[in-house]
């Protein structure tokens, strides 16, 4: 019996010491694993919001994957005169929309249903295509889709029609379909980015006219038809071409990134603003990309040279000019694309300008670096699932390139939730004292334990 008491005493003492001096758990609380890669050029990439599917496009076609394997589930080859530039995918991966640019000076939208169950070569088996639209759809960020796949917006570089919107996409079958509505104005020349809210109601778009930027916001998009004007068009605070835009899930916030003096602009209460509104706040540093959490309260942007990743918390309540960030990352590289999870806890960024190679960074919302990977030098596009668990990165749309897929998981040990190190350290002395009290009370008669305890106290 004494041997048993001594053994229990030693075990409890070891446990108490372990609690008082906790192991060095990574402060980020996440791990990143490269799930797979595929050597292929990537013009644009999209991850389903549920994180289960990845779709990539380039000049040769469309390629659809499960997040767990580099084996292409199905593919679609373009004709020689078409190039796929921009792609979007529904929340469950069942619907895909692709924007195509033709050498003949027109653009089209290709739409695929039942995408998660298709297999092998699907060339010529699109569910429907849009009518030919005069103009250029020649970059990523020009196609986006609602969560359910029922609404799609496409941006076309042209002097008259530039934002085209398609409703009832999941039920269309006629082969060639017209847009539900389009923005008709010669002012919004040079569109470069669109973003749609998950319900399809709100659309943000951005581009340039005469080397000045513009940002347009369209409310109630899902019930509009025919030619329409933007709910508001911002010109006054935007001094250089817009490269990227983001809209919050509820349409409350719009953000736009620009590499020139216009920098980063943020409009709050967007669905109630008058025409040509001033920004609510901005940051006067050149930016190439922007994204925001689902509620628009956290904003992340990628800059040119000046640090690389910039992060603002409480964005919905900020106001005024040149608002400083909560944090910036120390890397001095041009960031071409960023992503943030819906809850704002995970951030990813990609740069083609590392030390001879492309760089991929993963951060928490506190600015802690989760992980960093040095990969293909052409990397310039990124997409993240809603919960941040899956990230796809690619580049080399003009040749070469590689598609990479990463999985992000919280460090949760078996049997319970991970305790953040600083909280664990605060709790440890009390837990240790409790263990020692229980041990002493339970086996006080064990002289072996008493000797061990007093020896530990003396040393």
Residue 133 predicted with pLDDT over 90: no
Answer for the pair 186, 209: CB distance below 8 angstroms, yes or no. no
Q: Which two tokens stand for residue 173?
A: 């079958």
- Looking at residue 381, the DSSP 8-state letter turns out to be E
What's the CA angle centered on 446, arms 444 and 451, to 5 degrees?
95
| pLDDT value at residue 19 | 42
Segment 273-295 mean pLDDT: 95
Nearest to 99 by CA among 111, 81, 113, 116: 111
Cα–Cα distances in Å, from 406 out to 47, 52, 155, 366, 373? 11, 12, 29, 21, 10
Residue 376 predicted with pLDDT over 50: yes
- CATH number of the 30-410 domain: 2.130.10.10
Report the interhelical angle of 421-442 vs 447-458 (nearest 10°): 140
Q: Where are the domains of the chain?
A: 2-23+422-458, 30-410
Residue 420 predicted with pLDDT over 50: no
Tens digit of each residue's pLDDT (9 = 90 or more) over 73-91? 999 999 888 899 999 999 9
Residue 449 predicted with pLDDT over 70: no
Q: Which two tokens stand for residue 222?
A: 């899902």
- Looking at residue 412, the DSSP 8-state letter turns out to be -
Tens digit of each residue's pLDDT (9 = 90 or more) over 281-290? 999 989 999 9
Cα–Cα distance, 43 to 325 (Å, whole number)? 31
Among left, alpha and beta (phi > 0; psi -120 to 50; other), residue 172 is beta
Q: Per-residue confidence at 416, pLDDT binned at 50, 70, 90?
A: very low
What are the strands, taking DSSP E only, across 135-263? 143-145, 152-155, 161-166, 176-177, 181-184, 191-196, 203-209, 212-218, 226-228, 232-234, 244-247, 254-257
Nearest to 434 by CA among 16, 88, 11, 4: 16
Phi and psi angles of residue 7, each rounded to the nearest 5 degrees, phi first:
-65, -45
């Amino acid at each position: 019996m004494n041997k048993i008491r001594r053994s229990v005493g030693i075990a409890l003492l070891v446990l108490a010491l372990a609690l008082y001096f906790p192991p060095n758990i990574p402060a980020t609380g996440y791990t990143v694993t490269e799930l797979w890669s595929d050597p292929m050029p990537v013009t644009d990439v999209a991850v389903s919001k549920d994180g289960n599917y990845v779709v990539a496009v380039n000049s040769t076609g469309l390629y659809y994957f499960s997040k767990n394997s580099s084996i292409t589930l199905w593919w679609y080859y373009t004709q020689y005169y078409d190039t796929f530039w921009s792609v979007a995918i529904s929340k469950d991966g069942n619907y895909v929309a692709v924007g195509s640019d033709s050498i003949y000076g027109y653009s089209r939208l290709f739409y695929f249903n039942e995408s998660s169950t298709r297999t092998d070569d699907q060339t010529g088996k699109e569910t429907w295509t849009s009518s030919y639209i005069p103009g250029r759809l020649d970059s990523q960020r020009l196609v986006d889709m609602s969560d359910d796949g029922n609404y799609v917006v496409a941006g076309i570089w042209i002097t008259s029609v530039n934002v085209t919107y398609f409703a009832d996409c999941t039920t269309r079958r006629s082969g060639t379909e017209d847009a539900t509505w389009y923005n008709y104005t010669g002012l919004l020349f040079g569109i470069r980015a669109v973003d749609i809210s998950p319900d399809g109601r709100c659309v943000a778009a951005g581009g340039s006219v005469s080397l000045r930027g513009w940002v347009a916001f369209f409310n109630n998009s899902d019930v509009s038809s025919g030619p329409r004007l933007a709910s508001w068009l911002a010109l006054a605070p935007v001094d250089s071409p817009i490269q990227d835009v983001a809209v919050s899930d509820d349409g409350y916030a719009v953000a736009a990134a620009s590499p020139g003096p216009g920098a980063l602009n943020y409009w709050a209460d967007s669905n109630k603003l008058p025409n040509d509104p001033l920004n609510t706040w901005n940051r006067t540093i050149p930016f190439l990309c922007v994204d925001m959490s689902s509620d628009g309260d956290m904003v992340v942007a990628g800059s040119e040279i000046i640090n690389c990743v910039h992060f603002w918390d409480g964005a919905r309540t900020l106001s005024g000019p040149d608002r400083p960030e909560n944090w910036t990352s120390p890397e001095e590289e041009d960031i071409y694309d960023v992503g943030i999870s819906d809850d704002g806890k995970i951030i990813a960024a990609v740069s083609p300008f590392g030390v001879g190679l492309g760089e991929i960074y993963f951060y928490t919302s506190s600015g802690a670096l989760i992980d960093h990977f040095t990969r293909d030098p052409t990397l310039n596009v990124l997409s993240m699932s809603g919960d941040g668990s899956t990230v796809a990165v690619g580049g080399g749309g003009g040749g070469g390139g590689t598609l990479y897929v990463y999985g992000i998981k919280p460090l949760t040990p078996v049997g319970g939730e991970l305790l953040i190190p600083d909280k664990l350290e605060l709790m440890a002395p009390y837990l240790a004292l409790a263990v020692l009290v229980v041990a002493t009370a339970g086996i006080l008669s064990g002289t072996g334990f008493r000797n061990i305890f007093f020896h530990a106290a003396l040393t």
